[in-house]
Structure 1
Amino acid sequence: MSAPVRRLVRPVLFICDLQEKFRNAIHEFPRVVSTTQKLLKASQILDIPVFATTQLRGKLGETCPELALDTPDGVKTKAHADKSAFSMLVPEVQKAFHELGPEKKEVVVVGIEAHICVTQTTLDLLREGHKVYVLADGVSSCNPQEVPIALARLRAEGAIVTTSESFLYECMGDASISEFKGIAGVVKEFNKATKENMQALCKF
């Protein structure tokens, strides 16, 4: 029997604007952070490149510390760019993203706000021909009613609206790949949090 091949061969993680100043403004912000932590742990096991942005960092603060991006014990990003544009595809991110190679990618997007920066990032990625996954348990907005409208629009535009667990298992595609045990461990570790995150973010 031939060795198993991952179902998604070029996954990339985009983390949009999860900053300290938004903590008290965004609906269920800690839930979005929790899902992002789960994806970051999985990214280390599956060797998924990570890109992150902040929106006007000088005014709105750094990326929230519990994500530990670009810290000695955290995940090293390919780009961690500050921006004023709403889309994450600013020149610094574009340059690092294109350095991954010319092949189309499978980009999973988490962060805020669902109807603004997440939407415009997703539309730009789709326009470039990439397959885009938007995680319903990994995005939010100040006004929670904005979220289902944004997700419905992105689905109509061609994005795949799914959940963190579904995405991780689609990345693998086969329980016999070498990384399966590690990912199953992450899923188990976040089992309670995932249920709570789904209940908080996926009820609209």
Structure 2
Amino acid sequence: MAKIGRLSTKDTVLLLCDMQEKFRPNIFQFTNIVSNAARLLQASRVLGIPPILTEQYPKGLGPTVPELGAEDLKAHAKTSFTMMIEEVQKELEALGNPKRAILCGIEAHACIACTTFDLLEKGVEVHIVADAVSSRSQTDRLFALSRLKQSGAYLTTTEGVLLQLVQDAKHPNFKEVLTAAALFHHIGLDFMGLEETSLPKCL
């Protein structure tokens, strides 16, 4: 049976990549990226999905921005572009090696790309949250997403992730997840730099 990329709260991990202070003035749509990632983090706590946080060379690039709401998480410092450093792999092993990863953060063509490649090679299903991922340039961002889709990652949105995870309006945490996540629809189109009808063709 073909893989269809259905999300589930079981065997899933949320990966939060390098949303740090020094990136703030340079990343395309940084505020929206962090806002959407924060919504995913809040929802993951409600649904019991474990989050993992990294920081790229925090001595030079600063700490994770406070609006992500990740102060209670241990930030794994790294210099490599991939999140799959030894400490993160040990944390994944302690979680039973989740089969699916929801990935957000920066930069799309660097750390997000390298992390995705490493996860795919390990047989992990990767769901890249397009409206919670960015780069310094929109060109790098869009081509990175297209390239990662070619490699087998699934592209999705914050709202798409949340609705897939709860599946049903009768889900006991449905209202809580949507409230925590401040569900929305129209942040994506201007941000993506695409018309709604052209998005599937381009990505």
- TM-score with structure 2 setting the length: 0.86
Q: CA deviation at 1:7?
A: 4.0
Is residue 86 from structure 1 mapped to residue 87 from structure 2 by the alignment?
Answer: no
- The one-letter code matched in structure 2 to 1:132 is V
Q: CA deviation at 1:173?
A: 2.0
Deviates more, 1:24-33 or 1:178-187: 178-187
Is residue 66 from structure 1 mapped to residue 56 from structure 2 by the alignment?
Answer: no
Match of 1:151 among 145, 150, 157: 145
Match of 2:191 among 184, 187, 201: 201
Deviations 1:102-136 (A, max 9, x none): 4x422111111000100000111111111110011
Q: Secondary structure at the match of 1:82?
A: strand
Q: RMSD of aligned C-alpha atoms?
A: 1.7
Match of 2:55 in 1: 54
- Structure 1 distance, partners of 2:52, 2:170, is 28
Q: CA deviation at 1:190?
A: 4.2
Match of 2:4 in 1: none
- Structure 2 distance, partners of 1:81, 1:60, is 14
Deviations 1:41-64 (A, max 9, x none): 101111110111111100110001
- Structure 2 distance, partners of 1:92, 1:40, is 20
Match of 1:13 in 2: 14
Match of 1:176 in 2: 170
Name the count of aligned residue pairs.
188
Q: CA deviation at 1:33?
A: 0.6
Q: Secondary structure at the match of 1:167?
A: helix
Q: Secondary structure at the match of 2:109?
A: coil
- Structure 2 distance, partners of 1:64, 1:184, is 23
4+ residue runs over 6 A deviation? none
Deviations 1:175-203 (A, max 9, x none): 3221112123234x343xx523x134322
Q: Is the 8 Å Cα contact of residues 110 and 138 (structure 1) preserved in structure 2?
A: yes
Task: Specify every segment of 5 or more residues in structure 2 that has no aligned partner in the other structure, as ranges.
Answer: 1-6, 195-203
- The one-letter code matched in structure 1 to 2:67 is E
Task: Specify every segment of 5 or more residues in structure 1 that has no aligned partner in the other structure, as ranges.
Answer: 1-5, 71-75
- TM-score with structure 1 setting the length: 0.86
Match of 2:24 in 1: 23
- The one-letter code matched in structure 1 to 2:44 is S
Match of 1:97 in 2: 92
Q: Calculate percent identity across the aligned residue pairs.
A: 37
Match of 2:200 in 1: none
Q: CA deviation at 1:8?
A: 4.2
Q: Secondary structure at the match of 1:69?
A: coil
Q: Is the 8 Å Cα contact of residues 11 and 171 (structure 1) preserved in structure 2?
A: no
Deviations 1:39-98 (A, max 9, x none): 11101111110111111100110001112313xxxxx43x52000000001011110111
